[in-house]
Amino acid sequence: MRLPRYLLASGTAALMVGTLTLTATAAPPAGASHVANEARFVSAARNALARYLRHYRPQLMLAGRPHARGNGPLAVDSFNWSGYADGSKTTKAGTFTRVSGSWTTPSVKCGAEDELTSEWVGLDGWTSGSLEQLGTMSWCYRGAALYFTWWEMFFPPTNKGLMRVGTTLKPGDKITASVTRSGANYTLKLTDATTPANGFTIKQACPTTTCLDTSAEWIAERPSFGIGIAPLAHYNAFTITNGKQISGGKAGTIGSFATVNEVTMIDATQAYNLNAVSNLTSKNSSFSTTWQNSY
């Protein structure tokens, strides 16, 4: 896949291997008016992204440590994540048993460059190497946008990559997603109220000594790869509503956990933000992120 510009990240871990089989709706490139041309376009996009995601690396890349900012959530910068994360290095293993949230699939504006944006909820990843997450992704490929739903269970030695499910996702689709843990068993559920065929329920298992469940996240992400981080696609506002978590056996919202982190995505030089993250609203269960720059 051609990514003419990318940002290198230093001090990152060794390459992780991910795979994706993609079939998605897409606007055909300019001048393509026949179904056959559109099919060839989608096929080329599918093959390109599948090759590229062999080097997909979903881990968080922080740019400094969380720091206090008044009486609100801790503030932290990241090269690839933005949104909110509950948990800290002192959070006990097994603390979180559920995370959930709802959003409307953002649309993206595409130019000549290949760009990506992914929206998701999940457990782990903030203070641990495992991730259990699901959501939506938008990809600008050769000037046209592709959209799909996905899930992921990433933990050693399994390290499963992104698994595509939805093939007809489009901007404006109403999404509700959750990850629920019971012991070592996980249920990942996504509902598309607008186009039900994009929904799914996946059951997976991970040892409690590997998937520690020390954090819960509500995130907009620009995926990272072996050569660096993809440019952030120019999306309209990504707004989480009804963001909830269960921790220590008690139901709560994004902002009700003891340690809440507000994460802002920044550029590689740490000179400017790539998006803006709003304060928590609606009894600490909602927020928005808005695009500002791609890289």
| pLDDT tens digits, one per residue of 195-249 | 999 999 999 999 999 999 999 999 999 988 777 899 999 999 999 999 999 999 9
How long is the chain? 295
CB 207 within 8 A of CB 130: no
Both tokens of 252, joined, read 């709560």
- Say how far apart CA 49 and CA 217 lie, in whole Å: 25
DSSP state of 158: T
CATH 1.10.3470.10 fits 25-291, yes or no: no
**pLDDT digit string (tens) for 146-184?**
999 999 999 888 777 778 898 799 999 999 999 999 999
- Say how far apart CA 52 and CA 18 lie, in whole Å: 9
Is the per-residue pLDDT at 6 higher than 50? no
Domain spans in the chain, listed from the N-terminal domain onward: 25-291
Question: Across the strands, what pairs with 263?
Answer: 76, 83
Enter the pTM of the model.
0.87
Question: What DSSP assignment string belongs to 35-62?
Answer: HHHHHHHHHHHHHHHHHHGGGEE----B
Separation in Å, CA 214 to CA 67, 127, 130, 249, 286 = 19, 7, 10, 13, 21
Q: Is 201 helix (H, G, I), strand (E, B) or coil?
A: strand
**pLDDT digit string (tens) for 50-108?**
666 666 677 899 998 888 877 789 999 999 999 999 999 999 999 999 999 999 999 99
